[in-house]
Amino acid sequence: MNNIISIIIPTYNREQRISKAVQSVFDQSAANWELIIVDDGSTDKTKKAIEKYLLDERVQYFFQENSGVSAARNRGVELSKGDYLIFLDSDDYFLPGLIARLNEIKYNRYDLICWEVLKKIDGEPSIWKPHKLEKIYNNITATFLAGSICYKKEVFLHAGGFDREMFFGENYELGIRIGNLKELKIKILKKSFLFYEIQSKHRTSGTISNKLKSNNYLLSKHKEKYKQDLHSYSRLKYQIAYLKEKSGDRGQALKLYREAWSIKPFYLKAFLKTLWLGLKFKKLK
């Protein structure tokens, strides 16, 4: 086993922000890392923005035709030399001391190492901590947000890597498969080592179309697992119903809200949506 941690940054048209992500890797006080940047078909000046970093022998740059973030991350794993993996999105960045802290705890004793995140969503800051996940994740305490978890490569590969059909929520779909592996050794670091910022209106992966496609695929792929976790099953149905409503398909939305409510009768949000949309349909008749 080597002591290299492979950091993989998938990117697409991030010339304005990627250098901050890359610099945050170089700013780590410990040097036992390699950086693999997978450019998923950028048409802007992404490569030019990071040219100076490519002179470092620890950095690889790979360009591929646009295939989606899951394919880009998997390609990074194929190119990696380390036995441990961290996936960092190109519009986020690490906070100081992450790699040094991983070394201190002897990260190679664990399958997953997770840490806290300094989040800023639509300008609102908060600290997000790993927490106990639902039954569908085998109730493990973890986080699967990109940049907040280090995977043992052997575990990542055993779970099958990222699913290329997922364009939204792909981290947590992988989490379902990993969480159900036996005898996972998980370490939680009680400190923030990632800065995560999004502006909801500008999030391309978060379009209604992407969310609908990915959530429907998620339900189809893991339906039997969801049926064993009625809490998560009901909420996924609710999410799909909400997206259907947003897309203008209120008839299908009402049907799905009813299903979410029937799965979990005390789910108040699903009940209220069923009532509200049902009354709206009556008024239109």
Greater confidence, 131 or 198? Answer: 131
Provide the residue ranges of all domains of the chain, joining segments of one domain with +: 5-203, 205-284
Task: State residue 284's pLDDT score.
Answer: 54
Bridging pattern class, strands 112-121 and 124-128: antiparallel
Angle between the N-to-C axes of helices 230-246 and 208-221, in degrees from 0 to 180, rounded to the nearest 10:
150
pLDDT > 60? residue 134: yes
Which band of pLDDT confidence, cut at 50, 70 and 90, is reported for residue 278?
A: confident
The mean predicted confidence, pLDDT, of the chain is 94
Q: What mean pLDDT is predicted for residues 241-254?
A: 94
Residue with tokens 């300094």: 118
pLDDT > 90? residue 121: no
Task: State residue 122's pLDDT score.
Answer: 85
Residues 56 and 80 sit within 8 Å (Cβ to Cβ):
no
CATH numeric code, 5-203:
3.90.550.10
Q: Does domain 205-284 have CATH number 1.10.3470?
A: no
Q: What mean pLDDT is predicted for residues 243-256?
A: 94
Task: State residue 276's pLDDT score.
Answer: 87
What distance in Å separates the CA atoms of residue 49 and residue 199, rounded to the nearest whole number?
22
pLDDT > 70? residue 32: yes
Q: What mean pLDDT is predicted for residues 203-228?
A: 90
